[in-house]
Amino acid sequence: MKSMTTQEVQEFIKNNPEASLIDVRETEEVAAGKIPGAVNIPLGLLEFRLQDIDKSKEHIMICRSGNRSGMASRLLEERGYNVINMDGGMLDWEGDTE
């Protein structure tokens, strides 16, 4: 599984504003703040929302600490998606939030 640190993700999205970010935290967690532009698909709903995820794009997976996004990354990789796990999650994120 590919991964990036929060600092690498911050730099990546600065240079690639169209980057696809998927936040797999629960809705109430995301309400406290998320990376601008990230789409919230809670981990428990991910399998039911596969049709909403563009298989032709690379997606950066985000959660609170990196564990759930790691599970989401494995699930999507097994189904042929190109994903990167953000290590450290929002606990390590120092960039902007909305």
Q: Among all residues, which ones are annotated catalytic? A: 63
d(CA 76, CA 68): 12
